[in-house]
Structure formats: C-alpha cells, structure tokens
Amino acid sequence: MSNLALETSDSIDHLLGRLDKLHSSPAVALQVMEITRDPDFEFHDVKRCLENDPALTAAVLRLVNSSYYGLPRKITAVQEAMAYLGRRSLRLSVLGFGLVKALANGCPKTFHENYWRRSLSMAVAARKLAERCDKREVHADSVFAAGLLADLGMMAMAQIETAKYLETCANSDHLVTQLQREEEDFGFTHVDVGVRLLTRWQLPEELVVAVSQHHHCPASADKMSQILKVASVLAEVLWTADSPHMRILLPLLKTRFDLDLDDLISLATECKEAVKESVEVFQVRIDGEIDVEAIEREAQVIFQAAVFETAVDLDSLEALLAEENGQV
C-alpha cells in the first residue's frame, strides 16, 4: 500500500473513531446480524434480542405488512413476521432500519431529508430493476438493502465534519462533481467511508462490493453491482428530470438491461408509488414527489436528439461512401 493510500486509510479511521464517540454502535441490529449469520439460527434467539429494541421490532412489522410482501392478513407477532421474511430478508430489514437509522440521528434537517430521499429512491429503483432480472442472478431484497446503504458514508461525513461537508455538497452540481469535491476537500469520498463502515460491521461481501462500485461500475461486474450503479443514476433522474444523468441513464438501461424509453416511464411510475410507501415504512419525511411527466418529457427530448444525431451520422457516412465510389 502506498504512503498516500495509508494516509487516506488513517484519515478515514480517524473520522470513524470520532463517529464512534458520537454514536454508540447499533448493538441490537449487530447482534441480530451475528445470530443470523448461522443459517440454522433459532427464531426465539432473534425475538429475545429484538425485545430490547421496540423501534426496530415495530419497523420489522411495518415492513412485513407492506405491499412488498403482499400478505393476505396483517401480521402482529414478531416471530410470525420473521417466519414470513426468512433469514435473508430479516437480515436485510435489520440492516436498513437498525444501521441506517442509528446513524441518522443528529444530522441537520435538510441534509437528513435529502439523504433519505436519495437513499429510498435508490433502494426502490434497485428493487424494481431486480424484479426485471432473473431471480437466480439477484435477490430483490439484497439490492434494496444495498441501495439503502450505498451512501451511508455521506451520513457519517455530515455528522463529523458538518459545516465542511455541507459546503462540499452545496458546491456540487450533481453526484459526479460531489465525488470530485469530496476527494479535493477530504482526500477521500463518501464511498470510501461507507465501504469501511460496512466492512467493520462484517456485512456480506457482495453488498460491500456493490456499494464500492455504485458510481463507477464496469460492464463485467456482477448483477447486483450493475443494478446498484443504474439505480444510483435513476435515483438522481427521478427527482431532477433535467439532470445530466438522463443522457447516461437511457444507454445504461438499454445496454445493461435491454430496457427502452417506455420501460423507463414504467420504472419511474412504479418508483413514485414505492417511494411513498417506503417513507411510511421507514417513518421519515421527504418533501415533494416524483414528477413522472417531467421525466417523460426530458427523456423524449434526449431520445429524439439521439435519433437525429444517428440519422446525421448515417447521412454523412453514405455521402462519404458515395464520394469514395466516385458517385458525387
């Protein structure tokens, strides 16, 4: 490891050390994660653990009763909820509610709302993309959790270096420039901090890898990483239809998921409703709502421009070929 990499690693460790002093670790959530690490865990052990955190218990019940699971009746007992969720979904729900909300306390109000708006949008978008993929390739609950945790490093940086980090965010037009500004102002990015946090908490490797690649993801990456990358771009577009990310989103949807303009509008419509429900499930506040019509208008403009550019390129190519063949 180079001296620069060591300095960066030390800087992140120092920041997280300050975070530890500000927040106690989300003990119950981490205990549940530890118990359920064993595939043969006992439900009553988890139930006994959850009894120490009524808020987390209530969150698990809200989730199992949401439309995500479409159960025919309301579940009121946590042990029954765990049976319906199963090991994987139970772990992922505890991740989202226990770990994210534990860090959320104390963040400035405006940042808090913006964070949840983006994180819930990314999580929902990731789930909707996963539902369009082969279930053998990726689990919808897994990518939802990855979306929820992807920008956790932002929360940590906003808690410890509040004024400096808020200024960094204010001076960034969008996430690409924000990453650049973070690197300039801190020597590392929120992705670096988030990955370090998730690694410390011993979260599944595939989830950590997906988070590490959600801004820069090669086409050869695993399906979860690809979904999270596209969900990150889609989350930006959902709330800012004229974002420069729209020009990136359309080709990404086509090349990585074979989805077209109509599919984008369907995705946006589904995400709009799912974000509303997620706000209720997580009991957070975000202002405004997704404007699907604005997204469709902007997407149409970009699509038509791309068609025109393609036509111009074809005309130029035909003219060049004709000239080479002596027809002009």
Taking a C-beta distance cutoff of 8 angstroms, is the pair 281, 66 a contact? Answer: yes
- Asked if pLDDT for residue 321 goes beyond 50, the answer is no
Using 50, 70 and 90 to split pLDDT, how confident is the model at 292?
very high
- Asked if pLDDT for residue 128 goes beyond 90, the answer is yes
Q: What does 254-287 look like in DSSP terms, one character per residue?
A: HHHH---HHHHHHHHHHHHHHHHHHHHHHT----
Q: Rounded to whole angstroms, how far apart are CA atoms 237 and 247?
A: 10
Compute, in degrees rounded to 10, the torsion defined by CA atoms 156, 160, 161, 165: 20
- At 5 the pLDDT is 59
DSSP state, 221? S
- Asked if pLDDT for residue 169 goes beyond 60, the answer is yes
- At 94 the pLDDT is 83
- At 83 the pLDDT is 87
- At 311 the pLDDT is 42
Q: Alpha helix locations (H) across the chain? A: 3-22, 27-35, 43-50, 54-64, 78-94, 101-104, 109-130, 140-149, 152-160, 162-170, 175-186, 190-200, 205-212, 223-239, 245-257, 261-282, 292-324
- At 304 the pLDDT is 80
- At 175 the pLDDT is 66
* Tokens 């990726």, residue located: 138
Task: Choose between 291 and 94: higher pLDDT.
Answer: 291
Domain with CATH 1.10.3210.10 in the chain: 3-22+105-292
Considering 40-49, 104-113, 176-185, 220-229, the range whose residues carry the highest mean pLDDT is 220-229
What mean pLDDT, rounded, does the chain reach? 84
- What superfamily in CATH does domain 3-22+105-292 come from? Hypothetical protein af1432 (1.10.3210.10)
Q: Rounded to whole angstroms, how far apart are CA atoms 173 and 240?
A: 11
